[in-house]
Structure 1
Amino acid sequence: MAGILEPFGVHIDASNSFVQAAVYGFLLVGVASFAAPVISTIRVLLSLFVLPGKSLSTFGPRGTWALITGASDGIGKEFALSLAAKGYNLILVSRTQSKLDSLSADITSKYGPKIAVKTLAMDFAQNKDADYNNMKKLIDGLDVSILVNNVGLSHSIPVPFVETPKQEMNDIIMINCMATLRVTQLVTPGMVSRKRGLVLTMASFGGFFPTPLLATYSGSKAFLQQWSTALASELEPHGVYVQCVQSHLVTTAMSKIRKTSALVPNPKQFVNATLSKIGRSGGAQGVAFTSTPYWSHGLMHWFLSRFLGERSDTVVKVNRGMHESIRKRALRKAERDAKKQ
């Protein structure tokens, strides 16, 4: 021991076992501090770019059913198309029957009788017992092996909480939180009885990283993260796998972004990443039963969480500044549009 530290001008009495143990402890801490970021970097790269996720057949064979909420547009529509291509029958739930009919016709035209499609039009913001009773009747007796909790709502534009319209607050909570709870409570008992199933819940960086001017939306998505992780632990012993899916922006009607980029995939790219990485954490290292599967989102999530902290002052301030700027631009556009009328 003395030989190791003497070049640094430190003399250690090797006969003192306490000092010897303490020095070894400090050395181990130093090695661990150096190794931890290296190991973390290797893990995130393997998870995002190399290692495959669990096969969907683990949760239910082809010919069983997938229920998708918010199914008629964007990410939900792409989940429907992707799961149909993989041989799953579909239960499509969304607000507008005409859009559901159009999507159903497209799938039936492509796959014929091989893929069965059922639809249910309901407005989740209304939180009507009659709608959920209709859903219960629709899935009664069906082997629903996959549930995609995709339906969601954000603010029309970034807005200070004190100025948020009451109806907008109510709709966000009903759609993002209550709808997800009620649908999951209808579907998962069947999964438990069959001892298999997959529940995917779409979350958002807006919930993982506190987002000023989207406070109600941010809180609702943070709720989904906590709830999903707790539910996953409850259902894991019953063979049902629950995964919270984190994402940054995707080109959807909600994001109001039309052009893809390295940081903004289209729905097909995002859904392909999600379905190929079931069971992998991606960029959500250390967060149980959670994945950030799209490569650029995953790297961003990993970097911000590891080096800044998801609730650091810097992250919150940057988020606030970005959404203040978005709000100003949206208000100026509204003024210009009003003058044209």
Structure 2
Amino acid sequence: MPSNPLRRYQHGGDCWALVTGATNGMGEEYALQLAQLGFNLIIHGRNASKLDSVAARIKAKNPIADVRSLVIDASTSTHDLSELKKLLAEVRLTVLINNIGVVTQDYPLLEEQNAALIASQLSVNTLFPTVVAATALPVLKRNEPSLMINMSSLGAFAPAPYLAPYSGAKAYMLGFSRALYNEMHCENRNVDVVCMVPGQVVSGMNEGPPTTMMPMAEAWVKAALASLAPGFFSKRPAPVIVPHGVHSWAARAMSIMTRGMNDSATCSVTVKLRNKKLDSTASKTVDSSNDEA
């Protein structure tokens, strides 16, 4: 990156960023690129060995970066945040990337998902990011100007069939972020709250190969960070950003389409993806049966 789009949040040096869901995909890319920009990192995941691997990759590319791991299972209904609070008391946090998210990979009907699976999805996608934001916010206020990024999805604008809990959760994150943005404005705080809105990205949630509509995580995160650069009229980023060019055009198109047109397009795309997944699963089942024979 030739310039630093996050220089607003690096006042005084030795500044830290917390990235949740950092063990693969977009979360890992956020961590790698923030380290490249000069931030020290707290990386979160539920698997300590995977976090160690990510930390090693960060250190290999940025030897001077300080990297600490935070192990919490976000899928439970209650979260022990004592280790997070301990880390936040030890470092100067100026950036929080609430990246964590999960989606069912096989596009099930709602009634095919048991209560435990639904609760787990909602905890990862809504409850955990909310409590992390609440825990980190006093620290971000103390270290102003600071930044909080919450991740939504184009699914918040166009709720997808077979992904009802996920689409609902991402709509929550959009509303939560806008409400918190307004709260910071009312309180005259210099905590910039941004809701990032990706479409499909090749990451832990979506398999490749990359296409025009589905970029690699590296390219998407690069665009997301660049979108935070100060503008001519304001140092603050916009409250809602769709950073990837093609995704942004899709969002604009949806904004001028009727609800019926939006629903029809969303259903068409999602049904095709679901059928492709079902065909792939059936093919793998046949291959496995042949191997056993």
Provide TM-score, normalisation by structure 2.
0.88
Of residues 201, 205, 219 in structure 1, which corresponds to 2:168?
A: 219
| Aligned residue in 2 for 1:165 | 114
Asked if the contact 1:308/1:314 (under 8 Å) is kept, the reply is yes
Gaps of 5+ in 1: 1-52, 282-287
1:105 aligns with 2:56: yes
C-alpha distance in structure 2 between counterparts of 1:188 and 1:230, whole Å: 14
The CA distance in 1 between the partners of 2:157 and 2:189, in whole Å, is 28
Q: Which moved more, 1:210-219 or 1:316-325?
A: 316-325
Aligned AA (2:18):
L
2:69 maps to 119
Partner Cα distance (1:59, 1:202) in 2? 19
Using the TM superposition, give the Cα deviation of residue 159 of structure 1 relative to its aligned residue in structure 2, in angstroms. 2.0
Larger of the two Rg values belongs to structure: 1
Q: 1:239 to 1:54 in 2, by over 3 A?
A: farther
CA distance in 1 between counterparts of 2:6 and 2:282 reads 49
1:121-160 alignment to 2 at 5 Å? 121-130=71-80, 132-160=81-109
After TM superposition, the structure 1 = structure 2 runs for residues 32-43 of structure 1, keeping only pairs within 5 Å, are none
Deviation at 1:115, TM superposition (A): 1.1
Alignment of 1:202 with 2:148, yes or no, is no
The runs of 5 or more residues in structure 2 that have no matched partner are 232-237
| 2:94–2:144 CA contact under 8 A, matched in 1 | no
Q: How far apart, in 2, do the equivalents of 1:168 and 1:193 lie?
A: 37
In 2, Cα distance between equivalents of 1:229 and 1:181? 13
State the shift of 1:121 in Å: 1.8
Distance 1:168 1:156, change over 3 A: farther
Taking the aligned partners of 2:32 and 2:89, their CA distance within structure 1 comes to 23
For 1:249, the aligned partner's letter is Q
Q: Does the 8 A contact of 2:73 with 2:79 survive in 1?
A: no
Match of 2:216 among 234, 243, 266: 266
Q: How many residues end up aligned between the 2 structures?
A: 277
- CA deviations on 1:19-67 (whole Å, 9 max, x unpaired) are xxxxxxxxxxxxxxxxxxxxxxxxxxxxxxxxxx994121233420000
Give the corresponding residue for 1:57: 7
CA distance in 2, matches of 1:308, 1:270: 25
Equivalent residues in 2 for 1:22-41 (5 A)?
none
| Per-residue deviation, residues 258-293 of structure 1 (Å, max 9, x unmatched) | 112221111111111111111789xxxxxx710001
In 1, Cα distance between equivalents of 2:123 and 2:49: 23
Following the alignment from structure 1 to structure 2, what is the Cα–Cα distance between the partners of residues 323 and 122? 32
**Coordinate RMSD, CA, aligned:** 2.0
What is the alpha-carbon distance in structure 1 between the residues aligned to residue 244 and residue 39 of structure 2? 23
- 3-state secondary structure, aligned to 1:199: strand
Q: CA deviation at 1:156?
A: 2.3
Code of the aligned partner of 1:265: P
Distance in 2 separating the partners of 1:82 and 1:331: 35
162-171 or 98-107, which deviates more: 162-171
Kindly provide the amino acid, as one letter, of the partner of residue 189 in structure 1: P
What residue number does 1:34 align with? none
Q: 1:69 matched to which residue of 2?
A: 20
Cα displacement (A) at 1:331: 2.8
Q: Which amino acid aligns with 2:277?
A: A
Deviation at 1:324, TM superposition (A): 2.6
Return the alpha-carbon distance in structure 2 between the equivalents of residues 333 and 110 of structure 1.
37
CA contact (8 A) 1:207 1:219 kept: yes
Could you tell me which of 142, 150, 166 is aligned with 1:193? 142
Match of 2:268 in 1: 321
- Amino acid of the structure 2 residue aligned with 1:323: T
Aligned partner letter, 2:214: V
Percent identity among equivalent residues? 27
Determine whether 1:94 maps to 2:45: yes
1:182 aligns with 2:134: no
Q: TM-score, normalised by structure 1?
A: 0.76
Structure 1 CA distance, aligned partners of 2:282 and 2:229? Answer: 47
Give the aligned partner of residue 250 of structure 2: 300
Displaced runs of 4 or more, over 4 A:
none
Question: Does residue 248 in structure 1 map to residue 199 in structure 2?
Answer: yes
Give the drift of 1:122: 1.8
Determine helix, strand or coil for the equivalent of 2:75: helix
Aligned-partner Cα distance in 1 for 2:6–2:195: 16
* C-alpha spacing 1:117/1:143, structure 2 compared with 1 (3 Å): same
2:88/2:139 contact within 8 Å kept: no
